Amino acid sequence: MSNNNIDPPTRKALVTGGTTGLGESIALQLQADGYEVAVCGRRADKLAAMKARGFHSINCDVGDMEQVTQMGSWVARQWNRLELLVNCAGVALARSDFSEVSLADMDRVLRINLLGTIAVTQVMQPFVIAAKGNIINISSTLAQRPRAGSVVYSASKGGVEAFSRAIAIELAPHSVRVNCVAPGLVRTDIYLAAGMPAGAYDELLRARAIEIPLKRVGEPVDVAGLVAFLGSGAASWMTGVCIPLDGGGILR
């Protein structure tokens, strides 16, 4: 006799770059929605803080293929399935002329933003297929509407969007959906981490807000809400799309 009172297993989610900024907000939203959430990052203090809030914390630089493989081994041991993978880990460069960007900086941005997204997806693909789950990649409006000083970052995010569309086709027969979110300027520490002075960043936020039809820059919770929607059953017929989230900036 079957037992209809057995609770379904808790949904599992992995958020890369999940200890700060967009990733942290996404992880908190998914936790509130009932997921068991693992986050990965590179800073021990941030990982410890997330662990204290009830998250699984994995030390992983997504630009290091060996570490990505080890993270896959963790998922295999702990869960062996993944209802939602959010590729959010990313780095930027302080605004500079392309001629001033070093080859080492190019390598770091492309390795983390693009190759990291691709590698994590490949390693986690079997677990997402097992759960007939979802993959959500974080891009940027700079992929489609680049600005001066964003050449390498824009290129990395353009690759993320192309990859998202291609892998969506490949995984569709497995009932796995892949979508992409392209935020405009969101208030996080990504540019501060890249070396932009706090005063210059505050001025960038003020200047950019004036350009946006809704007259404000984004907040991490804005992105987290859209990610939660795309990972839900309400979006069950959406795959292979990249949604701009920019306060109407795309209208300008």
Q: At 71, is the secondary structure helix, strand, or coil? A: helix
Q: At 217, is the secondary structure helix, strand, or coil? A: coil
- Displacement of CA 20 from its chain's centroid (Å): 11
**Which amino acid makes up residue 57?**
S
- Displacement of CA 17 from its chain's centroid (Å): 7
Catalytic residue status for 153:
yes
35, 153, 191, 201: the active-site residue: 153
**Which amino acid makes up residue 127?**
F
Q: Which residues contact 177 (CB under 8 A, 6 or more apart)?
A: 134, 135, 168, 171, 230, 235, 236, 238, 239
User: Tokens 């993270």 correspond to what residue?
Assistant: 71
User: Tokens 């990291």 correspond to what residue?
Assistant: 116
8 A C-beta contact, residue 196 and residue 95: yes
Q: Which residues contact 86 (CB under 8 A, 6 or more apart)?
A: 13, 14, 15, 16, 18, 23, 26, 30, 135, 136, 137, 138, 227, 231
The catalytic site residues sit at 153
